[in-house]
A and B are shown apart, each in its own frame.
Chain A
Amino acid sequence: MQEEGGPAIKVEGLTRDFGGKKAVDGVSFEVGKSEVFGFLGPNGAGKTTTIKMLTTLLPPTSGSARLLGLDLKTEGRKIRERIGVVQQQDSFDQGLSAETSMEIYGLIWNVPRTERRRRIDELMKQFSMEEFRKKPTIDLSAGQRRRLQVAREFIHDMDLLFLDEPTVGLDPIARRGVLDFLKQKVKGGLTIFFTTHLLDEAEYLCDRIAIINQGRILEVDTPANLKRRFGSAKAVEFRVDARKPLELLSRIEGLDGVTKAAFDDGTAIFRASTARPEKVIPEIYRLADSESLEVSSIYVAEATLEDAFISLVRDGAGGEEGRRDGS
């Protein structure tokens, strides 16, 4: 059971150097109980290093953290008894079948035999693994092995689960199945620390998201707030039958409030990026009238989490406050 009160994870100034280079640079954040906390960032941002530190695999160079009320530096074993980890990399016992692999994993976690058997049967069904239950893990496809790796972690009890890109290699149906299973577990009280490059997946699952780049947290907020605050690249998309679309495009670019304009030859759709679509739409109609063109369709494309992510990471849109302290 988790400690009463207090967050599931509390991190303060966590840093990890590798030969003078800071892979993680003074990150601070909190994760509440039964929360799904997304940790997003480009390749090499420091996500996996953070997970390795929080799972006690790698000692931090400086900073502190408490997980489930336990100190990261002095109570590593107690922490490990109460967490689960699905690594980014494959992890499997190559000499064993899928079923035996789960059996042995349950055994090393000291799950009683009858309980192991019950959970294996349940997880085999839940993760649709019956068809390859007896197959050696070495012969499984990447997706099957990934499903096994996620399922295997649920053979033992835990209060906090670290998932480092758990759905890599899964088809959309299997992916949705895994995400729904995780949601169900969160309802039962599990806390999840989650990294992914699939932003739709993060939006579907996470209560809050931290965006990390070059070892530093840029922002922490809910997916909706991140989109609202940083997904400024809303766009007005419309179709007109212009004889000279490139000339029209340059006039659209000149409209007040338009930050960028594009034309898709294939669909004949113009796209005007703007933070103020309510102002730009009348301007587009006025422009069309002046050119004697008819707007056959027009709509506002909402900002996505991907827009917010790109805006934060590539354009550095995060505020100073966010950089200093992500909590």
Chain B
Amino acid sequence: MNVYVRLTYRNLRANLDPISLFFEFIFPIFFIFGQGPALSGSVAPIAIGGGKFISYALFLAAGAVTLTVINSGTNAGTQLWYDRKNGMFEQVLMGPFTRAEYLLSIVFATLLIGIVSSLLVFGLALPVLGGSLSMGLAGIALTGVSLFFGTLFFGGLALALSVALRSSETFQIVSQFAFFIFLFTSTIFFPSNNAPEAIKVISLLNPLTYATDVFRAGLFGSYTSFVSIEMAALAIEAVVMFSVAVVSFRRIRV
């Protein structure tokens, strides 16, 4: 069996708590079936580009699917953090594996969780998204690219944090705080057009904004030239963040 398959399987079995995964899955469901429909009547239809407007329920349902990238990304940090805490990081590296293989196996496990949970949430959101979907091959590619780079960015961030922070409590609180800032300043819950200027600027640098906007453009066929800029920015940020994670990872002292 291929070394990546073996290590990825181990990461999925050994370091991921099914209960936490379940709640990460439940979290977006709440927005799709709870908050979205509840606020839909009081929030005016939202412009998503290309002259298209969608209801708040649709806007939030699409955002909730991209929420999975941030949850999946956190898992990357958790896997590394548990392995270091439990002595398995050294144990694996004293086996017939390289650091690169180990790191990539975490990335593969994270991407796998990201893709599967996004598909599950997307499947559950279908009754809400329903006939509003306007997805061709380009749309499928856009949604896939947004989820891939989004997961890569947040996976890289969580890996870098888990290298830097050795205490469990610090890792949890710092990653939660960082991810809260990303969520709060993204376009998952509301568009940033009417936000205060400072938040608008942060939002325009936020990879979660790009991932969400690109994902929505793919779902609803609202592709514009701005979306292609956002996609490029997302890819660059994801590659940079992943490189930071690799550098931090290489510096782990055993």
Contact = CB atoms under 8 A, between A and B. Distances in A.
A80 interface: yes
A268 interface: no
10 contacts: A55-B94, A85-B91, A91-B86, A93-B88, A96-B14, A101-B14, A104-B10, A104-B13, A109-B95, A110-B1
Nearest to A107: B6
Interface residues of A, number: 26
B9 interface: yes
B98 interface: yes
Nearest to A91: B87
A57 B90 contact: yes
B82 interface: yes
Contact of A87 (B7, B15, B90): B90
A-B pairs with the 10 shortest C-beta distances? A91-B87, A93-B14, A91-B91, A81-B96, A85-B94, A55-B94, A89-B87, A108-B6, A80-B96, A57-B254
B96 to A, nearest CB: 4
B96 A92 contact: no
B14 A95 contact: yes
Nearest to A52: B254
A77 B92 CA distance: 12
Interface string B197-220: 000000000000000000000000
Contact of B94 (A56, A90, A92, A107): A56
A58 interface: yes
A91 B14 contact: no
Nearest to B98: A77
A89 B254 CA distance: 12
Interface string A266-300: 00000000000000000000000000000000000
Given A104-B10, A110-B6, A92 B86 contact: yes
A250 interface: no
A80 B92 CA distance: 10
A92 B254 contact: no
A109 B88 contact: no
Kindly state the interface size class of chain B when it binds its partner. Answer: 20 to 34
Contacts of B92: 108
Contacts of A77: 96, 98
B244 interface: no
Interface of A: 52, 55-58, 77, 80-81, 83, 85, 87, 89-96, 100-101, 104, 107-110
B88 A92 contact: yes
A123 B188 CA distance: 52
A80 B94 CA distance: 6
Contacts of B16: 95
Given A87-B87, A92-B88, A93-B88, A108 B7 contact: yes
A94 B96 contact: no
A245 B166 CA distance: 58
B10 A107 contact: yes
**Chain A facing B: main interface SS:** loop
Contacts of B6: 107-108, 110
Interface string B218-254: 0000000000000000000000000000000000001
Contact of A90 (B9, B86, B97): B86
Interface in B53-97: 82, 86-88, 90-97
B233 to A, nearest CB: 37
B150 to A, nearest CB: 26
A312 to B, nearest CB: 29
Contacts of A52: 254
Contacts of B96: 77, 80-81, 109
B223 to A, nearest CB: 42
A93 B92 CA distance: 11
A272 B83 CA distance: 53
Contact of A91 (B15, B90, B98): B90
Contacts of B91: 85, 87, 91
Contacts of A95: 13-17
From A89, A93, A109, name the one whose CB has the most chain B CB atoms within 10 angstroms. Answer: A93
A57 B90 CA distance: 7
A107 B94 CA distance: 15
Given A92-B86, A107-B6, A108-B7, A57 B93 contact: yes
A226 to B, nearest CB: 29
A77 B16 CA distance: 28
Contacts of A85: 91, 94
